[in-house]
Homo-oligomer: A and B are copies of this chain.
Amino acid sequence: MRIMRAEQFKLDRQVEYGTPQQNEVVQTIVEAIRTEGDTALLRYTEQLDRVKLEPSSLRVTEQEINAAYDRVEADFLVAIREAAHNVRKFHEKQMRNSWIDMQPDGTMLGQVLRPLKRVGVYVPGGKAAYPSSVLMNVIPAQVAGVPEIVMVTPPATGGKEGIDPYILVAAAEAGVKEMYRIGGAQAIAALAYGTDTIAPVDKITGPGNIYVALAKRTVFGVVDIDSIAGPSEIAVLADDTADASYVAADLLSQAEHDEMASAVLVTPSQQLAEAVAAEVERQLALLPRAEIARSSIDSYGAVLVVDSLEAGIDVINKMAPEHLEVLTADPMALLPRIENAGAIFLGPYSSEPVGDYFAGPNHILPTNGTARFSSPVNVDDFLKKSSLIYYSKEALFANGGKIMALARHEGLEGHARAIEIRLEKEGGKA
């Protein structure tokens, strides 16, 4: 693992917009689903997923879900249940109420918060089909009070037949009652526009391949979408109190995700820098996914040496990493200065997998430096607000003149007259 001065390092990543060919394929599929509905949906499922279905066989049956429970191990079930419980508890603390502010003149102003009505969760069929991600997408929507949560996932996973039982069990444990065996751009279009079999949704969340991502971009505006996730990232900020073997293991847990993942240590300690670089080599050799992790570490990994922890925080804030671990003598003391990070893991026992799987906070986090302006998936993502304005007669009469003045300065006489007609008719003065 290369060691360098922080100034020499640049993590340069592009937003993925797909090739013109990929975009054209997606446009064609989305348009076909929009106009032909189920017919096109079944056609593309046969063509792209090599599975022939009827409208009546699109939906996953209760028997299949029960059968999936028989196929997963007991320790998985125990762990996923406890994880779901923790995720639910953490997200429940984010819940907010509608509020209303009452004023002495009889005016009431407020915000009405409501859950979205129907949300679609996409679960990919390939190597990135993670039961834990099902929890992280579904539970915040459920806590927000979304009454209809529907999951879609491709009918077959690679060579394997049927849907991964771990996915089905995770979805059922999270409380999903409506699941369809569809995937790709055709699934996104079906969720956005609806078909005879599948009712349209208000928002689509969940990761997918480039076709899924492009389809989500295409239907954005018809429905809401979550952000398009980039490759995963970890930055570790550590001083010489950190255990090099812990730091190395945490960097590798990120690097094993895929070749594009990034794992970076930022430290003022040359000694720790060297120890971690050596530990990464040692541990890397022992990993089943060593090839992926090696490629990731070589391309996007680095140990960055800085002059001080303060200088390290500046580097981190510029990077805005998806995951940040702080392994220093007093990690909490640094918290106020950390401006940009999706999730912040403090201290030696807050290894990233604790958050990936179990603690409760969401593991779907802003990537690609977007932690500068965006947030982990949370309950707010599934709530919408309406402003509430109940103006009293007294308030209108007292303020009508000022409202009319502003409208007339903007050249909007019709706005002014909507106030004026009330004042004139009911004897108010402008």
Q: Which residues of A contact B (CB under 8 A)?
A: 15, 73, 75-76, 78-80, 82-83, 90, 93-94, 96, 99, 101, 107-109, 111-112, 114, 116-117, 130-132, 166, 202-203, 221-224, 228, 243, 245-246, 249-250, 252-253, 255-257, 283, 287-289, 293, 331-332, 335, 338-362, 365, 368, 370-376, 378, 380, 384-393, 395-396, 399, 402-403, 405-407, 409-419, 421-422, 425
Please classify the interface of chain A as helix (H, G, I), strand (E, B), loop, or mixed, using the class held by over half of its residues.
mixed
Q: Decide: A361 and B384 in contact? CB cutoff 8 A.
A: no
Q: Which residues of B contact A331 (CB under 8 A)?
A: 390
Q: Decide: A406 and B357 in contact? CB cutoff 8 A.
A: yes
Q: Decide: A332 and B249 in contact? CB cutoff 8 A.
A: no
Return the 10 tightest CB-CB contacts between A and B, nearest first: A361-B387, A256-B414, A375-B385, A15-B221, A79-B402, A224-B373, A343-B387, A249-B418, A353-B415, A349-B396
Q: Decide: A409 and B131 in contact? CB cutoff 8 A.
A: yes
Q: Which residues of B contact A396 (CB under 8 A)?
A: 349, 351, 354
Name the residue of chain B whose CB is nearest to the CB of A376: B387
Q: Which of B228, B246, B355, B390 contacts A422 (CB 8 A)?
A: B246
Name the residue of chain B whose CB is nearest to the CB of A404: B353
Q: Which residues of B contact A425 (CB under 8 A)?
A: 243, 245
Q: Which of B392, B403, B414 contacts A287 (CB 8 A)?
A: B414
A376–B109 alpha-carbon span in the complex (Å): 14
Q: Chain B's nearest CB lies how many Å from the CB of A113? A: 9
A83–B409 alpha-carbon span in the complex (Å): 14
Q: How many copies does the complex hold?
A: 2
Q: Decide: B112 and A335 in contact? CB cutoff 8 A.
A: yes
A109–B90 alpha-carbon span in the complex (Å): 8
Q: Which of B109, B332, B368 contacts A361 (CB 8 A)?
A: B109
Q: Which residues of B contact A353 (CB under 8 A)?
A: 403, 407, 412, 415-416, 418-419
Please give 17 more A-B residue pairs, beta carbons under 8 A apart, in addition to A96-B96, A116-B372, A331-B390: A111-B361, A112-B335, A112-B338, A203-B373, A246-B418, A249-B418, A256-B415, A287-B413, A289-B413, A289-B414, A349-B391, A351-B422, A352-B418, A354-B399, A354-B403, A357-B403, A358-B406
Q: Decide: A249 and B373 in contact? CB cutoff 8 A.
A: no
Q: Which of B82, B249, B387 contacts A344 (CB 8 A)?
A: B387
Q: Decide: A288 and B370 in contact? CB cutoff 8 A.
A: no
A372–B94 alpha-carbon span in the complex (Å): 21
17 interchain pairs, CB-CB under 8 A: A75-B402, A76-B405, A82-B399, A107-B359, A109-B361, A131-B409, A202-B372, A253-B412, A288-B411, A331-B390, A338-B386, A347-B390, A349-B396, A350-B389, A354-B396, A371-B386, A375-B385
Q: Which residues of B contact A357 (CB under 8 A)?
A: 402-403, 406-407, 415
A379–B42 alpha-carbon span in the complex (Å): 44
Name the residue of chain B whose CB is nearest to the CB of A98: B335
Q: Which residues of B contact A293 (CB under 8 A)?
A: 414
Q: Decide: A390 and B332 in contact? CB cutoff 8 A.
A: yes
Q: Decide: B252 and A418 in contact? CB cutoff 8 A.
A: yes
Name the residue of chain B whose CB is nearest to the CB of A82: B402
Q: Which residues of B contact A253 (CB under 8 A)?
A: 412, 414-415, 417-418
Q: Which residues of B contact A384 (CB under 8 A)?
A: 340, 371-375
Q: Decide: B342 and A390 in contact? CB cutoff 8 A.
A: no
Given A79-B406, A391-B347, does the pair A413, B372 have CB atoms closer than 8 Å?
no
A421–B368 alpha-carbon span in the complex (Å): 29
Q: Chain B's nearest CB lies how many Å from the CB of A235? A: 13
Q: Chain B's nearest CB lies how many Å from the CB of A46? A: 29
Name the residue of chain B whose CB is nearest to the CB of A15: B221
A380–B111 alpha-carbon span in the complex (Å): 13
Q: Which of B255, B346, B406 contacts A83 (CB 8 A)?
A: B406
